[in-house]
């Protein structure tokens, strides 16, 4: 499996409505077949300095992750939502064995 | 479940040996009962600008995560390894439903 972790801070001035629309658009990406699993969440606010949001996404392979990026739904997600609310952003991608079965 | 995601860059000058010792110490934390699940990995290097390493850790609750932090093994991990090799660091913590069962 190929895991992609994206942590970010909201863009300054992003409205609660725009953030909620972003979360909805992110959830909508689950229909893309290459996206095998996804968790995401807003930081719980226990510690100052934490970033605001994280998404953990699993694909079968890097090639599958690239196909996901090219999917029209993902393109619309970037143009209509991510580009409007995602500020400072950190990404790490790595292969892993997948969930214990 | 309470998820903690930590992404970081290696500290400048951290040796391959120190990084490998860090990975071993991180793996050793699995014996702490509060750590329900953990994945980690070095960035695959597909994209410039990605951070170097990420760990995704699950606990039953924030309280359990705090107990984990206080465990002697975790304390030693911080003092002997993390403090030696972890540079710029981003954390996000959030509640989630847990793995589909």
What is the pLDDT at residue B72? 97
Q: Which of A3, A5, A91 should be substituted to probe chain B, the one whose Cβ sees the most B Cβ atoms within 10 Å?
A: A5
Query: Tokens 């750590």 label which residue?
Result: B35
Query: Tokens 């994206």 label which residue?
Result: A6
Which of the four CATH numbers 3.30.70.100, 1.10.8.60, 3.90.1150.10, 3.60.20.10 does domain B2-52+59-95 have?
A: 3.30.70.100
Alpha carbons B12 and A99: distance in angstroms, whole number: 33
**CA angle in degrees (0–180, nearest 5) for B74-B78-B83:** 170
Q: What phi and psi values does residue B8 have, to the nearest 5 degrees?
A: -150, 165
**pLDDT under 70: residue ranges of chain A:** 100-101
What is the pLDDT at residue B26? 98
What is the pLDDT at residue B99? 81
What is the pLDDT at residue A18? 98
User: In chain A, whose CA is at the least distance from the CA of B41?
Assistant: A94
Query: Tokens 């309280």 label which residue?
Result: B63
Mean pLDDT throughout B63-82?
Answer: 97
Q: A1-54+86-95 in CATH: which number?
A: 3.30.70.100
Distance, C-alpha A55 to centroid of its chain? 4
Three-class secondary structure assignment of B33-97 = CCCCEEEEEECCCCCCCCCCEEEEEEECCHHHHHHHHHCHHHHHHHHHHHHHHEEEEEEEEEECC
Mean pLDDT throughout B82-97?
Answer: 97
Nearest CA distance, A95 vs chain B (angstrom): 7
Alpha carbons B63 and B79: distance in angstroms, whole number: 22
Mean pLDDT throughout B27-44?
Answer: 97
> How much is the pTM?
0.96
| B101 has pLDDT over 70 | no
């Amino acid at each position: 499996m190929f895991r992609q972790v994206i942590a970010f801070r909201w863009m300054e001035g992003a409205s609660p409505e725009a953030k909620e629309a972003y979360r909805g658009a992110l959830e909508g990406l689950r229909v893309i077949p290459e996206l095998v699993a996804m968790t995401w969440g807003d930081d719980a606010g226990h510690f100052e300095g934490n970033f605001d949001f994280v998404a953990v996404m699993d694909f079968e392979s890097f090639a599958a992750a690239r196909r996901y990026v090219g999917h029209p739904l993902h393109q619309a997600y970037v143009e209509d939502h991510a580009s409007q609310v995602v500020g400072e952003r950190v990404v790490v991608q790595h292969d892993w064995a997948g969930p214990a079965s």
